[in-house]
Chains A and B, each alone.
Chain A
Amino acid sequence: MTSPIKLKAALVPVLMVVVGLVWAVLYYRSVATDPRQDEAALSLIGPLIWVLVPLGVLTAAQAVFAALGGSADETHGLDNRKRLIYLAALACLLAALPWLGLLGAGLPFFALLAYLLGFRRILWLILLTAGLGVLIWGGFAGLLDISLPLYPGQRP
């Protein structure tokens, strides 16, 4: 195995460390330079940033060395078609929820995702979707009296 191929195994862990570190440093800086904050605001995050940065560097280095040594895990990212479909559908659901409400977005999400994942018994799908609608509308909103944005444009 050549080094670039070996290093691929360390890519995601290193990226995760970098994202974590960048966020942590920016967060620390925003608090440290904020004139409205006092020393108490830094009582934990001050010492923590000094722990987190070397820890992150060591973690990333360990991931790289493990990959070069060939002992990195043979795990891959979102390597399954169903998982990608799920994440894409989830993104659509989250985008639609504020506009269409829980019933308006949730029921099509349920039916379409089940179909795309491979569920082909249409009659059952219609019945289950209706059952889910009844559960949300009758069970959560009705019986448990939870204020939910059920329909398009509705605000709880």
Chain B
Amino acid sequence: MIDGAQMAEGLGLLLNWHMPLVILAGMTLGLIIGVIPGMTAALGLAIVLPLTFSMDALTALILMTSVYTGSLTGGGVLAILINTPGTPGAVATTFDGYPMAKAGQANEALGLQIAASAFGGAASYLVLLLFIEPMTDFALEFQSAEMLALVIFVLVAVGVLRGRHLLRSLFAGAVGLMLSTIGTVLTTGEPRGTLGFAELEDGLPIVLCVIGLFAVPELIQILPRKTISEAEARIQHSLAALWGGFKGAFRRWPTLLRGSGIGIAVGILPAAGATLASILSYTLATRLARAGDRFGKGEPKGVVAAESANNASEGGAMAILLALGIPGSASTAVILGGFMLHGLVPGTGLFRDNGPLVYGLIIGNIFQMVLLIGAALAVAYAVARIVTVPTTILVPFLTILLSVGAFSFRGQLFDVFVVFAFGIIGWFCRRYDFTPLSLMIGLFLGSQLDQEMLRVSILYSYEPWTILERPIATTFFALTLVLIVVRIVLWVRRATTQSGEGRA
């Protein structure tokens, strides 16, 4: 299943003196971002993206995935110390991590969390390494009809799973698709929708749109706070207890394996992501509780279940990104931007043309998990100082950094305006539940869908129903229908319950 020659070549690409430094730097930044409540991996990645301009593709992607890995793990640190999840995926970690900290077992809980995160992440990339070929074969089955069905499924799935308002989410996705078609039409060579701006003739700079959509709303959101975390973490450091917790995670190996499995499976689903994975894993662990387990009151298995699934979702999300080019979250969308920035298009072509790079990236990510342990322990120690950064300094600083990053993208001031314009749009979308992730997926997939629509209309113009003879496309259409029906049923059931309560 593994192509030995390509893997060896990929390993060769990694054997570089600067690679461990890049991983450590990215990991540390990611951990810092992760422990800061409200700041997401997407913002960290957005900050790092411009720095990768002058790097080779593998180094750039390793740096970005290191930030991603670090932020997923860092999110659990504050969840344990002050009951505040640094990232949405760490919500389930608070259920038992914080009670452990309150009971004087903060070090044990941090040890459990770091071990479970590293194991979950490593397991997910190992699965990705072993099944990379079947995934490629599966991806090769995707032609125009399948891509059309998949794009529609992804947009509906994001609306159902992530958005509180399905209609708003779908509307945002449709506007994103429309926006992505701005630029020169391939068949005529004439621009459309550019409003006379020559800078838009190549289309909107999608990477910058994504940076704006996710980074700027984050800055606006944290402004009212004095410091990023308003409660300072206090912890009595004990290396022995930390190590004890670390070993304790492996003593609870069934929970560790189950959590990792759930994380990988859920990570593959577009838009489901770390939050859903960790909550599902925690819920299952509580269902399988034995007598004496104290879930919700400081049960170590709870921390292991949540954190292993949280980090294992990363491998699943990367699998779907590498094989199909579908970003499952804001963070993987910015990573997708990193691929595009370096002239790489995730999907079938990536495996065919850049096999060693893909293997190098996966092996590099497994290596990251080893370094993660040391970096996470160091950050857990230093966290109390990090969370007291005043927003009055941080927000202006990051705004300037975003401006520099946006300008350096193509050397055009126009791009700085694009970033902040999409930032404002993103803030309103986030504030009023128009699901920025849907808008972003529309932006990313729109130009591809434009071409697929043209091909589909040529290939199936006389008998459009023949699309349904293709099993994968039919499956996605059916899944889309199921999602919509489930959503409607839930909505009707909720409305009936509410009206019943109202009458009572």
Do A and B interact with each other, yes or no?
yes
Interface set of A (CB-CB < 8 Å, partner B): 12-13, 16-17, 20, 24, 27, 30-31, 34, 36-38, 40-41, 43-45, 47-49, 51-52, 55-56, 58-59, 62-63, 73, 75, 77, 80, 82-83, 86-87, 89-90, 93-94, 97-98, 102, 106, 109-110, 113-114, 117-119, 128, 132, 136, 140, 144-149, 156
Number of interface residues of B (CB under 8 A): 57
Q: How far is the CA of A34 from the CA of B53 in the complex (A)?
A: 38
User: A59-B171, A75-B432, A86-B220 are contacts. A132–B165 as well, Cβ < 8 Å?
Assistant: no
Whether A55 contacts B167 by the Cβ 8 Å rule is yes
Inter-chain contacts of B192 with A (CB < 8 A): 27, 30-31, 34, 37, 41
- Chain A's closest residue to B177 (CB) is A48
Q: How far is the CA of A63 from the CA of B164 in the complex (A)?
A: 12
Among A16, A34, A140, A156, the most chain B Cβ lie within 10 Å of the Cβ of A16
Q: Judge whether B417 is part of the interface by a CB distance below 8 angstroms.
A: yes
How far in angstroms is the closest Cβ of chain A from B247?
42
Whether B417 contacts A94 by the Cβ 8 Å rule is yes
Whether A51 contacts B174 by the Cβ 8 Å rule is yes
Known: A87-B424, A147-B408. 19 other contacts (CB 8 A): A12-B432, A36-B190, A37-B185, A40-B186, A48-B177, A52-B174, A52-B178, A73-B433, A86-B219, A86-B223, A93-B399, A106-B400, A118-B226, A128-B393, A132-B397, A132-B400, A140-B408, A148-B408, A149-B413
User: A16-B428, A36-B190, A52-B171 are contacts. A117–B404 as well, Cβ < 8 Å?
Assistant: no
Whether B404 contacts A102 by the Cβ 8 Å rule is yes
Q: Judge whether B296 is part of the interface by a CB distance below 8 angstroms.
A: no
How far in angstroms is the closest Cβ of chain B from A21?
9
How far in angstroms is the closest Cβ of chain A from B412?
9
B359-377 interface code vs A (CB 8 A; 1 in, 0 out) = 0000000000000000000
User: A44-B449, A106-B403 are contacts. A27–B193 as well, Cβ < 8 Å?
Assistant: yes
Q: How far is the CA of A55 from the CA of B170 in the complex (A)?
A: 8
User: A44-B453, A97-B413, A119-B390 are contacts. A37–B54 as well, Cβ < 8 Å?
Assistant: no
Q: Judge whether B175 is part of the interface by a CB distance below 8 angstroms.
A: yes
**Interchain residue pairs A-B with the least CB separation, the first 6:** A119-B392, A40-B187, A117-B392, A44-B450, A43-B454, A113-B396
Q: Judge whether B496 is part of the interface by a CB distance below 8 angstroms.
A: no
Q: How far is the CA of A94 from the CA of B420 in the complex (A)?
A: 9
Inter-chain contacts of A147 with B (CB < 8 A): 408, 411
Q: Judge whether B466 is part of the interface by a CB distance below 8 angstroms.
A: no
Inter-chain contacts of A16 with B (CB < 8 A): 428-429, 432, 434
- Chain A's closest residue to B424 (CB) is A87
Q: Judge whether B224 is part of the interface by a CB distance below 8 angstroms.
A: yes
User: A27-B193, A119-B393, A148-B408 are contacts. A136–B400 as well, Cβ < 8 Å?
Assistant: yes
B370-400 interface code vs A (CB 8 A; 1 in, 0 out) = 0000000000000000000011110111011
How far in angstroms is the closest Cβ of chain B from A85?
8
Inter-chain contacts of A86 with B (CB < 8 A): 219-220, 223, 395
Q: How far is the CA of A49 from the CA of B223 in the complex (A)?
A: 37
Q: Judge whether B181 is part of the interface by a CB distance below 8 angstroms.
A: yes
- Chain B's closest residue to A66 (CB) is B165
User: A44-B177, A86-B395 are contacts. A148–B407 as well, Cβ < 8 Å?
Assistant: yes
Q: Judge whether B493 is part of the interface by a CB distance below 8 angstroms.
A: no
Q: Judge whether B497 is part of the interface by a CB distance below 8 angstroms.
A: no
Inter-chain contacts of B182 with A (CB < 8 A): 27
15 pairs from A and B in contact (CB 8 Å cutoff)? A16-B429, A16-B434, A31-B192, A34-B192, A41-B187, A44-B450, A44-B454, A73-B432, A77-B431, A87-B220, A106-B404, A119-B393, A144-B54, A149-B413, A156-B411
- Chain A's closest residue to B390 (CB) is A119
Segment 162-205 of B: residues with Cβ below 8 Å from A: 165, 167-168, 170-171, 174-175, 177-178, 181-182, 185-188, 190, 192-193
Inter-chain contacts of B53 with A (CB < 8 A): 144, 146
Inter-chain contacts of A37 with B (CB < 8 A): 185, 188, 190, 192
Whether A47 contacts B453 by the Cβ 8 Å rule is yes
Q: How far is the CA of A140 from the CA of B407 in the complex (A)?
A: 11
Whether B453 contacts A109 by the Cβ 8 Å rule is no
Q: How far is the CA of A58 from the CA of B174 in the complex (A)?
A: 14
Inter-chain contacts of B395 with A (CB < 8 A): 86, 113, 117
